[in-house]
Amino acid sequence: MADLGRQRYISITTHRRDGSPVATPVWVTASGGRLYVWTGAQTGKARRIRRNPEITIAPCTARGAPTGPAVPASAQVVAITDRPEIWPLFLAKYGLQLRAIMWFGRVSRMLRRGSAPAERVFLELTLTAPA
């Protein structure tokens, strides 16, 4: 778990309703024996996890090319307010890059004349035993 938490990117493979896999490279941080991913509440991966929490995770490049073996895990969607200690870990790890994404999001919303910011959530990942 700690090794995956130190990675810059991991790939989360979720499953569509028809069972087909969808791999997505994401930023990750670790805390308390769990991994955390920051994402929008209405993203495809968050919707698929709400429907089926069984996933696989693997270290990967920014483009999603695996750099290590995939391991089974389970995921749950948690509100950012439920894990306030996690956000500073993302800021420390991704620093200027994360701040730039946040800034561009604010500018984009202003240009769209005050559209509401997308709700953000954490995906809390826990390794599971292989089946």
- Is residue 39 within 8 Å of 101, Cβ to Cβ? no
Q: Superfamily for 2-86+117-127?
A: Electron Transport, Fmn-binding Protein; Chain A (2.30.110.10)
Instruction: Give the pair of three-digit tokens for residue 32.
Output: 């308390």
Query: 118-130 burial string, b = 16+ CB within 10 Å, else e?
Result: eebbbbbbeeeee
% residues pLDDT > 70 (the chain): 92
Quote the CA–CA distance of 8 and 53 in Å, as a whole number.
23
Tens of pLDDT, residues 36-85: 999 989 999 999 999 999 999 999 999 999 999 999 999 999 999 999 99
User: Residue 47 in contact with residue 40, Cβ under 8 Å?
Assistant: no
Residue 20, token pair as written in the block? 């087909």
